[in-house]
Amino acid sequence: MKVSRRSHVPPFAVMEILAAANARREAGFDVLSLCAGEPSTGASDVVRSRAAELLRTADLGYTEAMGVPALRAEIAAHYDRWYGARVDPDRIAVTTGSSGGFVLAFLAAFDVGDRVALARPGYPAYKNILAALGCEVVELDCGPETRYQPTVPQLTEAYYEGGLDGLIVASPANPTGTMIAPAELEAVATWCGEHDVRLISDEIYHGIAYGEDVQQATAAMYTEAGAVVVNSFSKYWAMTGWRLGWLVLPEELVAPVGALAGNVALSPPALAQHAGIAAFSPEGYAAAADNVARYATSRAALLDRVPELGWRPVAPADGAFYLYGNVSEYCARIGGDSVEYCARLLAEADVAITPGTDFDGVRGRDWVRLSFAAAPDVVARAVDRIVAWQQTL
């Protein structure tokens, strides 16, 4: 029997490395894993307590396809609280993680053959999901000169070369951690509105930013111009396995996403939805802020040791919890690329990080991504091992 052409997408390499690291750990090795973008703390106590109570007392059957009204109302209040943005709860769709949100948004917004632009380097699932849905991916080469983010001139060039139907932006971005300033996001959103290009803004790392001057803007301010916001409980609230995310939709996509959601998943996970309401409590916000403080500690220590690591250049780690660095010097020493670098680092030093080939099919063979979402002492010990191992090359 045949296998569909649309299923021929590359596997997500970080998951393969995570599996290899877990297998090595199960074999008795002391593996330090900094490959996955997963907070080490897990959900806050207030969310866990609410979940335990719900398991004892609640009816956890199917919910509304777009999510329970109480959670949608809390998400809308969050936008008012954080950004001063008024969002109608009816325009919020709760999804099975941000990944489920991307699938619904792409299905509702794009047709087969549509051209959708995104930054390179960038999160690989964007282009792989788009390719599986029959869209044409237009990669914008984004380097240090643009802070690894797409610019209006790049969009204009791509638009006049072959047309554009969509743009995906991410701020803070994976793998680089770079952010789009509010004025720049407004300029991109305005350009997209003027050129009938659907803007999809990945904001799953919002709340995880560093420095007093860092400002986070949301494309929820621009839904009247057609922008779609994707967000999640996985990163800021450390609820990765709960599979809970959301979309903020422009009016014209509300009914299509609702119909698709009911057919694709019936409803998001009921337990996660009801417990997730507690994430917006003062206790939930406080626990998330404590996590960000831990990431900041790890980040500061890690940046202090970049000269010692010898990774150069590195992308500005303004937000999220990643260090994206160039390891071409060490790749040259081993006569390989970042895939071999990461494989040998795991096999010889028991540290798991991710090769840049996941994020950049052109230059990623010289780059790696290290996640500092683990506990600060784990990150510090991992860097010790990396430095010592590189000295043997």
pLDDT at 18: 85
Percentage, residues of the chain above pLDDT 90? 91
pLDDT at position 36 is: 86
CATH of 45-281, one of 3.40.50.720, 3.40.720.10, 3.90.1300.10, 3.40.640.10: 3.40.640.10
Query: 139-174: buried (b, 16+ CB within 10 Å) or exposed (e) per residue?
Result: bbebeeebbbbbbeebbeebbeeeebbbbbbbbbbb
CA angle centred on 36, ends 35 and 40, rounded to 5°: 110
- The Cα–Cα gap between 391 and 393 comes to 6
Say what the pLDDT of residue 83 is.
96
Instruction: State the distance between the two ends of the chain, measured CA to CA, in whole angstroms.
Output: 48
Sequence ranges of the domains in the chain: 5-42+284-392, 45-281
CATH of domain 5-42+284-392: 3.90.1150.10
Residue numbers in the chain where pLDDT is lower than 70: none
pLDDT score of 7: 80
Q: What is the pLDDT of residue 14?
A: 77
> Residue 303 corresponds to which amino acid?
L
Q: Is 133 exposed, middle or buried (0-12, 13-18, 19+ CB in 10 A)?
A: middle
The span from the CA of 328 to the CA of 337, in Å, is: 8
Number of helices followed by number of strands (H, E) in the chain: 14, 12
The neighbouring-strand residues paired with 326 are 367
State the burial class of residue 289 (Cβ atoms within 10 Å of its Cβ: 0-12, 13-18, 19+). exposed
Distance CA 31, CA 393 (A): 20
pTM, to two decimals: 0.95
CA distance 332 to 328: 6
Tens digits of per-residue pLDDT, 215-273? 789 999 999 999 999 999 999 999 999 999 999 999 999 999 999 999 999 999 999 99
* Separation of alpha carbons 372 and 358, rounded Å: 18
